[in-house]
Structure 1
Amino acid sequence: MEWKKEFIDFSFKKKVLKFGKFILKSGRTSPYFFNSGTLSSGKDINKIGLFYAHSIIHSKIKFNVLFGPAYKGIPIVVATAIALKNYYNLNIPYSFNRKEQKKYGEKGDIIGSQIKNKKIIILDDVVTSGKALNNSIQIIEKKEAKISSVFVLLDRKEKGERNFYELKNFKNKKKYKIISMITITDLISYILEKKELHQYLSMLIQYRKKYGIS
């Protein structure tokens, strides 16, 4: 879809997406890096919210609450809720978790809409092995909510605590579908169309061959 190409171009121009040599949290040396934290203006985050909204509507998945994991998921979930209202006239509530337990006031670990017995879409920026998203799944399941799907900007599709297009929660043996704006395959296709980036093509292909999910 055209908006996917638009998203990659937007990410590259904003230096959210970079090609080169990067050490990941997993210890792997990656030929590309994606950092949504660099999107720190109102215009940028509004654009990201619209990309998520397009993806959610296109998926036709049933849900009634958006959830954004702290910290990067917080601006994402707010921007997406605004985009769904402004562009699709859907007034969807959102919530996010605290990383630190509050010991005064309401002492809750969830801020925003209550999620018990709701159908939840989790919004995050990147999934690599799936470890971080498994933490969000456990938070939501403790609230007796149902996870409809997980939406991310980039799915690196790498070996780890997950299956192809799915995230596996080892504790309850359930699997959850991951829907991404783009994948490493989309990045390779993008580079093929950009002669100035061809120097990175072989590195991405080799990286996918070594760590990718086949």
Structure 2
Amino acid sequence: MPALEERIKSLVIKLHEIDALKFGDYKMKVGINSPVYFDLRVIVSHPAVMRMLAELMWDFTKSDVECQHICGVPYTALPIASIISVTANIPMLIRRKETKDYGTRKLIEGKFNKGDKCIIIEDVVTSGSSILETYRDLCNEGLDVTETIVVVDREQGGLHNLAKYGVKMRSLCTLSKIMDVLCEAGRVDSSTVQRVKDYLASSQVNLKNYIDVGVKTEVSSNRRLTMNFVQRAAEAKSPLSSRLLHLMSKKRTNLCLSADETTVKEILNLATTLGPYICMLKIHSDIIEDFSPEFTEKLVDISNNNDFLIMEDRKFADIGHIASMQYSRGYHRISSWADLVTVHPIPGDGILDGLKSAILDIPNKPIRGCFLVVEMSSKGNLCSPEYIKGALKLVSAHEDFVSGIVCQSSTTVTLPGLIQLTPGVQLVAGGDKLGQQYNSPEHVMLSLGADVAVVGRGITKAKDPTQAAVEYRDRLWAAYEKRII
């Protein structure tokens, strides 16, 4: 079977051939005009294309999703969802656009239990309003809507709008990608491609100008995503979390620099040069070849002068007694200088109790905190939904010490006082040879729900690290401000 990317290209060509993609001047549902229009309703007259699309959608979806039901947004996505249901043997639900006034008077048709997982299937997304209407009704029936899968993202704000309500969305292809495929195949010229790109840049849709979706479920009412940092600091249970939220607001930066260097000189130079642009410096003390107590003293002075926090990315994962000694004793004596540490929650409560007990032995009782690592950015990681759910249960028992969560999803962290730290950020999305996955600053803020984004090689290996740090800082902060508006 051809690779997924080649199958997507073939589908785009087929859709153009059956006139499902039109170019001209079209009025959109959200009230704006567009030079390109997707009329996927025509696929019902082309069974082969409809099957091709449905099979491709499921192959794109199935490796990363767990569900008991699928639900197509009425009406164009219904035939696509129907074929997926039959092909994959997954029960389908149907959402009516209005409740019928006779018979059972159901809004959601199909057999299901409260708590069942469901994914939404949609054809084209502009603002995301249709998805949110379906999401609202499914959630109000007690279903757990894990994400929505769409054929085409028109890149006009739908991804951002959905993220603000805690709804995860993945798309088979974007409008930009479609235009590039058609241009490469000689079906549109470069001037048409540029006209569409110019249109996208000037026609973003802010959902609140068009619809009040009325979503009232626990997941969708994720206040964390729309509150500003100062508001959230007032609700933080961890003193270190409150301090970091105020710091970010004051410095107007939510950039964490990952200084994965092996010498004291390199790290101190980065801290001194880039300190004004970051809220946090993350290091790995166990890879520093010339580590010394004098180094940490200098690093703490630099952090105080430039107003950023120090995170030791130790990822503690042992029983409480051992973790306590690893934190406060040995050559590194991490608890004496690191504001924050990272912790794997796999040992359970004991590891957090152990770390907190070590702080009691530090003179002057400094404010300390930790980030629980519940998801990772590496390909093939083993952080299952069950593991994540269990890890989050530790937070309420240790809310004075757990400052935040290291994760990759906007729905993982819901408490306003907790901070979401998301690694794997570069200006251009992609990955490295060792399985590290990278996302753009806008994607991690608006789609993944990050509060603090971790950037390493994108800055430290840049030709001009200062210029790179400024660009990351500005783009991350702009995305944060867009999210809370």
Structure 1 residue aligned with 2:133 = 135
User: Quick one: distance in 1 between partners of 2:37 and 2:76?
Assistant: 16
User: Quick one: distance in 1 between partners of 2:40 and 2:119?
Assistant: 19
Conserved? CA contact 1:127–1:154, under 8 Å: yes
SS, match of residue 103 in structure 1: coil
Pairing 1:1-214 to 2, within 5 Å after superposition: 1-41=5-45, 42-58=47-63, 60-84=64-88, 91-114=89-112, 116-159=114-157, 162-163=159-160, 167-168=162-163, 174-198=165-189, 199-212=191-204
Code of the aligned partner of 2:170: I
Q: TM-score, normalised by structure 2?
A: 0.39
User: Quick one: distance in 1 between partners of 2:76 and 2:187?
Assistant: 31
User: Quick one: distance in 2 between partners of 1:76 and 1:188?
Assistant: 23
Structure 2 residue aligned with 1:88 = none
Conserved? CA contact 1:65–1:121, under 8 Å: yes
Deviates more, 1:204-213 or 1:176-185: 204-213
User: Quick one: distance in 2 between partners of 1:115 and 1:31?
Assistant: 44
| Deviation, structure 1 residue 36 | 1.1
SS, match of residue 158 in structure 1: coil
> Could you list the runs of 4 or more consecutive aligned residues of structure 1 that deviate by over 6 angstroms after TM superposition?
none
Code of the aligned partner of 1:63: C
Gaps of 5+ in 2: 206-441, 443-485
SS, match of residue 38 in structure 1: helix
User: Quick one: distance in 1 between partners of 2:73 and 2:182?
Assistant: 31
User: Quick one: distance in 2 between partners of 1:167 and 1:36?
Assistant: 22
| Deviation, structure 1 residue 103 | 2.8
Code of the aligned partner of 1:50: E
User: Quick one: distance in 2 between partners of 1:75 and 1:155?
Assistant: 19
Conserved? CA contact 2:44–2:79, under 8 Å: no
User: Quick one: distance in 1 between partners of 2:112 and 2:139?
Assistant: 13
Structure 1 residue aligned with 2:352 = none
| Deviation, structure 1 residue 212 | 5.0
Conserved? CA contact 1:20–1:200, under 8 Å: no
SS, match of residue 197 in structure 1: coil
Give per-residue Cα distances to partners, 1:118-166, cap 9 Å, x unaligned.
1111011111011111111110110111111101111111136x51xx6
Code of the aligned partner of 2:174: T
Deviates more, 1:196-205 or 1:38-47: 38-47
| Deviation, structure 1 residue 5 | 0.7
Deviates more, 1:49-58 or 1:134-143: 49-58
Conserved? CA contact 1:184–1:208, under 8 Å: no
Conserved? CA contact 1:65–1:119, under 8 Å: yes
Give per-residue Cα distances to partners, 1:46-101, cap 9 Å, x unaligned.
2222122112124x1111110112222321211111222xxxxxx21111112232
Q: TM-score, normalised by structure 1?
A: 0.84
| Deviation, structure 1 residue 196 | 4.2
User: Quick one: distance in 2 between partners of 1:127 and 1:137?
Assistant: 14
Give per-residue Cα distances to partners, 1:158-211, cap 9 Å, x unaligned.
136x51xx6146xxxx41121111102212321331334114112112112212
User: Quick one: distance in 2 between partners of 1:191 and 1:47?
Assistant: 18
State the aligned residue count: 200
User: Quick one: distance in 2 between partners of 1:206 and 1:115?
Assistant: 46
**With CA pairs under 8 Å and 6+ residues apart, which has the higher RCO, 1 or 2?**
1
| Deviation, structure 1 residue 29 | 2.1
Code of the aligned partner of 1:79: I
Code of the aligned partner of 2:195: M
Conserved? CA contact 1:65–1:113, under 8 Å: no
SS, match of residue 30 in structure 1: strand
User: Quick one: distance in 1 between partners of 2:123 and 2:106?
Assistant: 25
Give per-residue Cα distances to partners, 1:4-63, cap 9 Å, x unaligned.
1112111111111122222212232212110111112333332222122112124x1111
Name the CA shift for 1:107/1:26 in 2 (closer, same or farther; >3 Å). Answer: closer
User: Quick one: distance in 1 between partners of 2:24 and 2:185?
Assistant: 15
Query: % of aligned pairs identical?
Result: 23
SS, match of residue 79 in structure 1: helix
The RMSD of aligned alpha carbons is: 2.1
SS, match of residue 148 in structure 1: strand
